[in-house]
Amino acid sequence: MTDVWNRSARTAPDTGTVRVNFPCANGRVYAFAVLQEFDHSDRFIQDIMTDLEARQALSSADRSLALDVAAGVVRRSRTLDVIIQSRITRPRHKVEPDLWRVLRIGAYQLLFSRTPDHASVDSTVDLCRLLDRPRWTGFVNGVLRGIGRLLSVEPATGPAATSLPGTHQNWRRLAEAVFPDPETRRSEYYADAFSLPQVLTDRWSSRLSQNDLTAACFHSINAPSTTLRVNLMRTEPESVLQSLLDAGCRARAGSIMGSIHLEQSPRIETLPGYNEGLWSVQDEAAMSASVLLSPQPGESILDLCAAPGGKTTHLAELSRDQAKITACDVASGRLQRIRDNAARLQLTSIHPLVIPKDGRELPPGPFDAVLVDVPCSNTGVLNRRPEARWRFDQSGLEELVVLQTRLLIQACELVRPGGRVVYSTCSMETEENRGVVDTVLAVLKDFRLDREVRHLPGQPADGAYQALLMRAGC
């Protein structure tokens, strides 16, 4: 069930709505426009930014600031709201929605960005004027200065009613208790402090240790890292790493063969080796799905839910581009991304195929191996998809499980006797993972679970689940 907090935040009446005039004066105004559209449309932040860029000529600095602030506010909105509410006496519904949006932008910069405190306050007060709302300036100034006084210079070392989680496992001490006591109200504390719906923290608290829960929650609020998967058909990881270091990138080898971590997130297409197809962007947890399937040269392989194609191209690389890989998706536009990536990586073994949404007219097979990377709740990658946390609810989860079960059964029906299937999600939820696998195994008696891999968020990569199913031979 979606939190009452979340419902009221997204459905509050919006009277006297601010109309943003383009082109805007700076990135904060763009961030306000993106957040306003997000609250009214349920679209993804990145999609809204893409549309905005198509209509406006954004400088790289404005784009970077707008995306950081907009995504950050969505990611940390519950925490921001708790802290803002602690500094004002009027209830939330008595504050104009657009004014609350401005307060979130200012509070985010004060609490979580690298912007100096005085600049965070001054720039947010200026934002009121740029939005033609000078009457807001005194109120915004007072609230943000109150938040600034809440921040203590003393360190914090872990969960407490006065501990604010920052990024990368850092804590900030607050001058007074704002959050619930984690000793007696653990789930509520993690929901408020880490900006998560309580339905998720209830689930995670019931099955994760304290350390795993804290790691998963920190992972959900950290800005996503960038990991490269080296195309081992064309180069060596050491060569790519050296070229990145020579170009001034802060980079290091990852924990999976051929992976490289970037310690910042530059524009990917500007990095050495991109145009030459020497690497792709892919998290280590996602890489392990294709490794688990272990595609071989000469095999017939199906990627049932292929777009945007990171796993598809990895299958091609692992099989030395000598398998026949059928890459399916329901959207032709998304399949184009696979074609583009395959061309850049100089891979020829991938054959994209559009399939109907109802699951009919699938390629006949039989296939030696099938990868089915299903649509899921994304609870293992909340850092990359800040909107997903607020879209999680029980009814949506149940609908996903029905879809996932159907897709896994279809995948199993398409594999030959003696063949194998890898079922993959980027979810932490048991129902989507082992629950789906057990349901399918109870129906398809000629399959067995050979191996399963669970990736907990932040240890060290994204959260994910993969299961290798083997079909009995003739």
Domains of the chain: 1-154 (1.10.940.10), 156-221 (no CATH), 226-281 (3.30.70.1170), 284-471 (3.40.50.150)
Query: How many C-beta atoms lie closer than 10 Å to residue 330's C-beta?
Result: 14
What was the pLDDT predicted at 23?
79
**In sequence order, what are the residues at sequence separation of 6 or more whose Cβ sits closer than 8 angstroms to the Cβ of residue 168?**
218, 222
**CB under 8 Å, gap of 24 or more: what pairs does 118-126 form?**
120/144, 121/145, 121/148, 123/28, 124/28
pTM over 0.85: yes
What was the pLDDT predicted at 10?
40
- Picking from 178, 264, 182, 187, the residue whose alpha carbon sits closest to that of residue 228 is 264
The two three-digit tokens of residue 399, written as one number: 């609908």
Cβ-contact 420, 468 below 8 angstroms = yes
- Picking from 12, 376, 389, the residue whose alpha carbon sits closest to that of residue 199 is 389
Q: Is 426 a catalytic residue?
A: yes
Residue by residue, DSSP assigns 341-377 as HHHHTT--SEEEEE--TTS-S-----EEEEEEE----
What was the pLDDT predicted at 193?
98
* Angle value at C-alpha 278, between 274 and 283, nearest 5 degrees: 85
Determine the Cα–Cα distance for residues 103 and 82; give it in Å rounded to an integer. Answer: 12
Residue by residue, DSSP assigns 403-425 as HHHHHHHHHHHTEEEEEEEEEEE
Q: Which residues pair with 372 in a beta bridge?
A: 423
Cβ-contact 82, 178 below 8 angstroms = yes
pLDDT by residue for the chain (474 residues), tens only, comes to 334 334 333 434 445 788 887 777 789 999 999 999 999 988 899 999 988 888 888 888 888 899 999 999 999 999 999 999 999 999 999 999 999 999 999 999 999 988 888 999 999 999 999 999 999 999 999 999 999 999 988 889 999 999 999 987 899 999 999 999 999 999 999 999 999 999 999 999 999 999 999 999 999 999 888 999 999 999 999 999 999 999 999 999 998 889 999 987 778 889 999 999 999 999 999 999 999 999 999 999 999 999 999 999 999 999 999 999 999 998 888 899 999 999 999 999 999 999 988 777 889 889 999 999 999 999 999 999 999 999 999 999 999 999 999 999 999 999 999 999 999 999 999 999 999 999 999 999 999 999 999 999 999 899 999 999 999 986
The two three-digit tokens of residue 96, written as one number: 């104009």
Helices (H), 113-156: 117-130, 137-150
What was the pLDDT predicted at 474?
65
Which entry of 128, 217, 305, 426 is annotated as an active-site residue? 426
Residue that is written with structure tokens 């880490």 in the block = 194
